[in-house]
């Protein structure tokens, strides 16, 4: 038997580390968290000095049993869970469970961390263990307690005042506020008209063809023109005509030329958030996908000579790099690109966050000498693309700066009038030879080229144009820009960004459309309720200060229970007060400055079962209602034909959203969904004729029902399996995954409680890449369900 049991979080990581340790070590996986707060009210008891009641997570109980069994004949326990606060908490929970089972008596417990899964890093970590950090554990307990207390107190209040099934959270709620406030800015925005005057010019470059370029009017009648200086077409035409008339012999004379050279420095290596942002911009990856693929690269890929971790730990807010990695990168730069691309001294980057965990490194390749091309055939497409991005970012960060020549040409057709043309060229590419950082929500700056011009040159004028523009509202958040804003406000931490974004969507508070976040009707109402009645707790600064206090606990600078008391006492009092003083109608209705056309009472925007609508405040005496957007738009006729009567189908708007309906309605009442459902190949167990199809409800959530609807109304919430229930004989089972039980085969019959786990190997696949994603804010006990 092995003398030392080493515990990591995922089975993939266990396989990698087994390659680096000898026969004296047995590496096993905990499959993520092993213990969590009891899923009932009272698991955190403020009256008992915040006593916390934990229980083993059901789906991982068998893995805890396996670890306990291995400890029977082992000499020591080495806890090698992830190198962050979540990993520290998992190590502590596991040690506590094994002590309760009396498996650790007389046996030392060691804590080791490695930020990359390579032979050197693993062996060095095992050779230099430490104790479990009480400070990190306390910080994680405080975070978990806060999330629990907010979830189990605010969520029931939302059930009573808005709608059942809703939730609120310490971090989720400020994130919702960001999305909702951006939507309010867009709706309140009034575009402003403005004009620009542009001259299209051309000049010889020494060849047969002339080079065209554009100059813009920046000064008129002695006044500098700002963006909104020209406000209407008439004024724009006056200025356009004046410029055109000032051109002599169809040309404009160059009055001066300014030439400058500026340096561009590379971006620092990736942190979690910048990796998520850049993968979203350049690769189109959702944040959750970025983290899943990064976890695979971190845990290890079989390169032919064994499993190797390709990147360092991917949950980090540090931009530090090890001396060895920097030296290796510099060697690669010198060999591949030459001495000109290698700065005299290695570059060091400084994090902007005061709470950065400096013991960590940035996300980087474990070996910069492992070029993306050399491993491409060993990776799948997504792994190869993300590894390429991480490698380029890190290597480019150690390269020479780029030199950019900028040229500004001025034209002064007459005193007090000036046009300007600007351009730039890359004099020396430096780090740009490898990588250039992307940008958010703005057009990438192009290096506009200008012909060689000198004072007195006269490029000919092709035309003078007046161009109409309108100011635009701020753009809706993408995943990348929302993560960037969360980080800027100090909301959340590297391990929580992905779960924050997914929670907003899972709760139905926001939807991603064309990669932009749109707040839903429910999200608006919940945000208004929380912002109006719990202002402090969705305040960005308050949330950031609370994160700072948690970080102080982790550094050993603060005790965790006083932090909980300072939060809980006023929060609990406010929840009790709002439960008594705020009515449901007040929360779900918003008065409008408009009278009811039917009875003259005030109109309100109300939240109903199917979203918001306009209704009379005198209801039920007056039943006037209308859609929020006014009357439904006219149907849009398509080129598709009705299968029943042959008339064109039209895109129509109903209470559940858009659908295809016959243009001959009401003579023909055929209708069908706008998006065709996907078949599953499973026969409907109720009618025995139809096929179970994957469909979407109006909120975009997938469900499964018979394709013979409305003749057959059979439906289920999870994917069907063509297997009969061994207990009740139901013709199908469901493929269902929950936090409590993991992935199971479950009977859809409500009267039958049959459930069975998937085979072990399929459970292992499900655990890959997501085992250590932290649970966010909890729901109240009665809100929890296995779905």
Q: What pLDDT, on the 0 to 100 scale, is given for residue 777?
A: 40
Give the separation between CA 774 and CA 141, rounded to whole angstroms: 12
3-class DSSP assignment, residue 727: coil
pLDDT > 50? residue 228: yes
pLDDT > 50? residue 764: no
pLDDT > 50? residue 779: no
Helices (H), 189-286: 233-246, 272-278
Is 771 within 8 Å of 59 (Cβ atoms)? no
Give me the half-sphere count of Cα atoms (radius 13 Å) on the Cβ side of residue 505.
19
Convert the pLDDT of each residue in 70-111 to its tens digit. Answer: 999 999 999 999 988 889 999 999 999 999 999 999 999 999
CA 242 to chain centre: 51
pLDDT > 60? residue 655: no
CA 757 to chain centre: 31
Give the separation between CA 301 and CA 307, rounded to whole angstroms: 5
Instruction: Dig out the tokens for 143 from the structure.
Output: 């975070």
| Confidence band for 762, pLDDT divided at 50, 70 and 90 | very low
Kindly report which listed range (156-170, 283-297, 321-335, 664-678) carries the lowest average pLDDT score. Answer: 664-678
CA R_g for the chain: 32
Nearest one of 362, 423, 418 to 393, comparing CA atoms: 362
| Confidence band for 263, pLDDT divided at 50, 70 and 90 | very high
Nearest one of 704, 669, 552, 529 to 607, comparing CA atoms: 529
Nearest one of 299, 279, 293, 272 to 356, comparing CA atoms: 272
Q: What pLDDT, on the 0 to 100 scale, is given for residue 441?
A: 56
Instruction: Dig out the tokens for 212 from the structure.
Output: 């065209």
Q: What is the rounded average pLDDT of the residues 526-552?
A: 91
Going edge to edge, which strands form the sheet with 4-8?
25-29, 4-8, 76-79, 109-111
Give the separation between CA 230 and CA 401, rounded to whole angstroms: 39
Give the separation between CA 4 and CA 618, rounded to whole angstroms: 74
Burial class (CB in 10 A: 0-12, 13-18, 19+), 87: buried
Give the separation between CA 390 and CA 398, rounded to whole angstroms: 13
Count other Cβ atoms within 10 Å, centred on residue 374. Answer: 10
Give the separation between CA 473 and CA 379, rounded to whole angstroms: 42
| Confidence band for 778, pLDDT divided at 50, 70 and 90 | very low
Give me the half-sphere count of Cα atoms (radius 13 Å) on the Cβ side of residue 366.
23
State the Cα angle at 516 between 386 and 612, rounded to 5°: 145
The region that residue 81 occupies, defined by phi over 0 for left and psi between -120 and 50 for alpha, beta otherwise, is beta
Helices (H), 701-787: 760-767
Give the separation between CA 740 and CA 543, rounded to whole angstroms: 29
The region that residue 629 occupies, defined by phi over 0 for left and psi between -120 and 50 for alpha, beta otherwise, is alpha
Is 589 within 8 Å of 604 (Cβ atoms)? yes
Q: What pLDDT, on the 0 to 100 scale, is given for residue 700?
A: 62
Is 95 within 8 Å of 54 (Cβ atoms)? no
Going edge to edge, which strands form the sheet with 602-608?
589-595, 602-608, 611-616, 625-627
Active-site residues, by number, are: 313
| Cα first-last separation, the chain | 41
| Confidence band for 609, pLDDT divided at 50, 70 and 90 | confident
Query: Model pTM?
Result: 0.76
Q: What pLDDT, on the 0 to 100 scale, is given for residue 688?
A: 87
Give the separation between CA 398 and CA 343, rounded to whole angstroms: 8
3-class DSSP assignment, residue 146: helix
Q: What is the rounded average pLDDT of the residues 455-473?
A: 94
Buried b (16+ CB within 10 A) or exposed e, 748-758: bbeeeeebeeb
| Confidence band for 359, pLDDT divided at 50, 70 and 90 | low
State the Cα angle at 224 between 220 and 226, rounded to 5°: 110
In sequence order, the β-bridge partners of residue 757 are 744
Give the separation between CA 126 and CA 34, rounded to whole angstroms: 22
Q: What is the rounded average pLDDT of the residues 512-531?
A: 91
3-class DSSP assignment, residue 328: helix
Q: What pLDDT, on the 0 to 100 scale, is given for residue 784?
A: 33
Give the separation between CA 349 and CA 317, rounded to whole angstroms: 12
Give the separation between CA 160 and CA 2, rounded to whole angstroms: 56
Q: What pLDDT, on the 0 to 100 scale, is given for residue 394?
A: 97
Buried b (16+ CB within 10 A) or exposed e, 296-320: bbbbbbeeeeebbbbbbbbbbbbbb
Convert the pLDDT of each residue in 593-605 to its tens digit. Answer: 899 998 999 999 8
Q: What is the rounded average pLDDT of the residues 659-664?
A: 88
Kindly report which listed range (237-251, 338-352, 736-750) carries the lowest average pLDDT score. Answer: 736-750
Buried b (16+ CB within 10 A) or exposed e, 710-739: eebebebebbbbebebeeeebbbbbebbbe
3-state helix/strand/coil string of 177-189: HHHHHHHHHHHHC
Q: What is the rounded average pLDDT of the residues 315-327?
A: 91
Packing angle between helix 497-506 and helix 287-299, nearest 10 degrees? 140
Q: What pLDDT, on the 0 to 100 scale, is given for residue 439?
A: 73
* DSSP labels, 755-779: EEEPPHHHHHHHHTTTTTPPP-SPP
pLDDT > 80? residue 753: yes
Give the separation between CA 573 and CA 577, rounded to whole angstroms: 6
Convert the pLDDT of each residue in 372-390 to its tens digit. Answer: 999 999 999 999 999 999 9
Phi, psi of 35 (to 5 degrees): -145, 145
**E strand map for 283-430:** 301-302, 307-308, 402-414, 417-428
The DSSP output letter for 60 is: G
Q: Is the model more confident about 690 or about 677?
A: 690
Q: Torsion over CA of 75, 81, 85 and 86, rounded to 10 degrees?
A: -120
Q: What pLDDT, on the 0 to 100 scale, is given for residue 353?
A: 57
Kindly report which listed range (337-341, 402-406, 480-484, 724-728) carries the lowest average pLDDT score. Answer: 724-728
State the Cα angle at 444 between 443 and 449, rounded to 5°: 115
Helix (H) / strand (E) element for 509: namely none
Buried b (16+ CB within 10 A) or exposed e, 235-268: ebeebbebbbebbeeebbebeebeeeeeeeebbb
Q: Is the peptide bond before 666 cis (omega within 30 degrees of 0)?
A: yes
Percent of the chain with pLDDT over 90: 59
The DSSP output letter for 459 is: P
Q: What pLDDT, on the 0 to 100 scale, is given for residue 2?
A: 66
Packing angle between helix 287-299 and helix 381-396, nearest 10 degrees? 80
Percent of the chain with pLDDT over 70: 91
**Considering the chain, what is the average pLDDT of its residues?**
88
């Amino acid at each position: 038997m092995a003398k030392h049991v080493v515990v990591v979080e995922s089975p993939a990581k266990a396989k990698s580390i087994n390659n680096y340790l000898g026969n004296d070590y047995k590496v096993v996986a905990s499959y993520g968290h092993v213990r969590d707060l009891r899923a009932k009210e009272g698991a955190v008891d403020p009256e008992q000095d915040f006593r916390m009641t934990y229980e083993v997570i059901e789906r991982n109980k068998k893995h805890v049993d396996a670890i306990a069994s291995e400890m029977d004949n082992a000499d020591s326990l080495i806890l090698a869970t992830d190198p962050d606060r979540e990993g520290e908490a998992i190590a502590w929970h596991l040690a506590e469970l094994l002590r309760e089972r009396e498996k650790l008596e007389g046996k030392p417990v060691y804590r080791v961390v490695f930020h990359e899964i390579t032979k050197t890093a693993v062996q060095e970590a095992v050779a230099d263990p430490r104790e479990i950090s009480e400070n990190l554990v306390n910080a994680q307990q405080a975070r978990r307690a806060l999330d629990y207390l907010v979830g189990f107190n605010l969520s029931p209040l939302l059930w009573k005042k808005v709608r059942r099934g809703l939730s609120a959270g310490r971090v989720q709620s400020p994130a919702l506020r960001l999305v909702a406030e951006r939507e309010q800015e867009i709706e309140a925005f009034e575009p402003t008209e403005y004009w620009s005057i542009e001259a299209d010019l051309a000049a010889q470059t020494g060849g047969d063809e002339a080079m065209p370029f554009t100059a813009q009017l920046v000064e008129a009648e002695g006044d500098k023109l700002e963006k909104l200086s020209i406000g209407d077409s008439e004024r724009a035409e006056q200025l356009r005509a004046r410029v055109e008339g000032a051109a002599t012999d169809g040309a404009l004379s160059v009055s001066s030329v300014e030439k400058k050279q500026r340096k561009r420095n590379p971006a620092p290596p990736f942190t979690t958030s910048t990796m998520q942002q850049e993968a979203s911009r350049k690769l189109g990856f959702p944040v959750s996908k970025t983290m899943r693929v990064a976890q695979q690269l971190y845990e290890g890929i079989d390169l032919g000579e064994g499993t190797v971790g390709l990147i360092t730990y991917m949950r980090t807010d540090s931009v530090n790099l090890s001396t060895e990695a920097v030296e290796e990168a510099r060697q690669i730069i010198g060999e591949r690109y030459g001495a000109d691309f290698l700065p005299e001294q290695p570059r060091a980057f400084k994090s902007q966050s005061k709470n950065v965990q400096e013991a960590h490194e940035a996300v980087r390749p474990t070996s910069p000498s492992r070029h993306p091309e050399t491993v491409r055939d060993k990776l799948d497409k997504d792994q190869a693309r993300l590894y390429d991005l991480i490698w380029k970012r890190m290597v480019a960060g150690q390269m020479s700066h780029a030199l950019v020549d900028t040229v500004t040409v001025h034209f002064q057709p007459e005193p007090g009038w000036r046009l300007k043309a600007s351009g730039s060229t890359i004099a020396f590419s430096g780090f740009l030879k490898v990588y250039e950082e992307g940008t958010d929500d703005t057009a990438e700056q192009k290096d506009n080229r200008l012909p060689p011009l000198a004072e007195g040159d006269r490029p000919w004028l092709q035309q003078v144009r007046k161009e109409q523009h309108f100011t635009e509202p701020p753009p809706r958040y993408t995943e990348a820009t929302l993560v960037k804003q969360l980080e800027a406000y100090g909301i959340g931490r590297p391990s929580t960004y992905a779960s924050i974004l997914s929670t907003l969507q899972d709760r139905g508070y926001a939807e991603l459309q064309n990669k932009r976040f749109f707040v839903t009707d429910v999200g608006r109402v919940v945000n208004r309720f929380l912002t109006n009645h719990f202002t402090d707790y969705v305040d960005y600064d308050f949330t950031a200060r609370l994160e700072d206090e948690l970080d102080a606990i982790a550094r050993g600078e603060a005790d965790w229970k006083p932090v909980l008391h300072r939060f809980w006492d006023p929060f609990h009092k406010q929840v009790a007060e709002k439960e008594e003083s705020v009515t449901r109608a007040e929360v779900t209705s918003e008065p409008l400055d408009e009278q009811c056309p039917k009875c003259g009472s005030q109109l309100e925007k109300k939240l109903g079962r199917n979203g918001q609508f306009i209704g009379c405040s005198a209801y039920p005496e007056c039943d006037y209602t209308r859609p929020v957007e006014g009357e439904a738009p006219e149907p849009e006729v398509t080129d598709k034909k009705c299968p029943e009567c042959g008339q064109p189908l039209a895109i129509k708007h109903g209470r559940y959203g858009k659908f295809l309906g016959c243009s001959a309605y009401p003579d023909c009442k055929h209708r069908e969904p706008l998006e065709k459902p996907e078949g599953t190949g499973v026969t409907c167990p109720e009618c025995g004729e139809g096929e179970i199809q994957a469909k979407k409800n109006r909120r975009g959530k997938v469900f499964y029902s018979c394709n013979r609807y409305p003749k057959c109304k059979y439906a289920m919430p999870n994917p069907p399996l063509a297997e009969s229930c061994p207990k009740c004989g139901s013709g199908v089972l469901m493929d269902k995954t929950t936090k409590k039980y993991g992935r199971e085969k479950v009977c859809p019959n409500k009267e039958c409680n049959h459930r069975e786990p998937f085979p072990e190997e399929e459970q292992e696949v499900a655990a890959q890449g997501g085992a250590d994603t932290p649970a966010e804010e909890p729901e109240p006990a009665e809100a929890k369900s296995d779905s």
